[in-house]
Amino acid sequence: MVCPCTTSGMAGKATYDRCKVLIVFHIDRGQIEGTDVNGLTIGVVADTPPVMIEGNWRVGVLLDDKATKEQEDKLIAVFSGQKGGSMGAAAPLIGEMLGVKRVPMKYSDKGREHKVQMGPDVHAEVEDYVGGGQETPIQLVGVAHPANSTLTIARGTHSHINAFGIDFEPTGKSAFSAPFSWQG
């Protein structure tokens, strides 16, 4: 139900030979050093060893094709860790940068359902998990994650990711959703 890396500070060993992940950030509103990045979406695709904290991650970035060159430069600086912050903490774990690819993006966030289409080869849908007699989704609190220290547990409902030579289908597997708000 929940990836061991999430609850162990990335020190838990996964049950797979490699962990393949997609982290999507949709920016409702924001700016980076005075550059407006409202409405843009960015995705980080990663292939990691089963113990993520060991590093040697293979990472590619999918960038919203609506971004101007100035927006692209600012977003890449933040999401590659060059500006420090949450993504800066993950930067030393990257062993191979697979590149940046600009693709059309469609993002929707409706209640418990979150969907993204990134070009023709990346489609991810997750649904926040409500278990037992609960009325609200279950959350993990106090975790080390670049988006937020509180994550809503979700599951992949219909997904296939094929980018940068990383191909996986997380349908039925662990997923999360979380708002993010970074200051810098």
Residue 24 burial (CB < 10 Å; 0-12/13-18/19+)? buried
> Measured on CA atoms in the order 84, 88, 92, 97, is the torsion positive or negative?
negative
Q: pLDDT tens digit string along 75-90?
A: 999 988 888 887 888 8
Cβ atoms within 10 A of the Cβ of 81, count? 18
The C-alpha atoms of residue 146 and residue 88 are separated, in whole angstroms, by: 9
Within-domain flag for 47: yes
> Quick check: is 78 in a domain?
yes
pLDDT at 9: 66
Whole domain around residue 37: which residue ranges?
4-177
The model's pLDDT over 96-118, given as tens digits with 9 standing for 90+, comes to 999 999 999 999 999 999 999 99
In a domain, 182, yes or no: no
Q: What is the pTM of this model?
A: 0.90
Residue 184 belongs to a domain: no
d(CA 72, CA 8): 33
Provide the domain count of the chain: 1
Two structure tokens written together for 80: 């590659």
Q: Which residues contact 52 (CB under 8 A, 6 or more apart)?
A: 5, 10, 11, 14, 19, 93
What does the mean pLDDT of the chain come to? 89
Q: Examine residue 183 and state whether it is found in any structural domain, yes or no.
A: no
- Burial label, 153 (beta-carbon count in 10 A; 0-12, 13-18, 19+): buried
> What is the predicted pLDDT for the residue at 7?
65
List, for the chain, all residue ranges whose pLDDT scores fall below the cut of 50. Answer: none
pLDDT (0 to 100) of residue 25: 93
Give domain status of residue 157, yes or no.
yes
Residue 130 pLDDT: 92
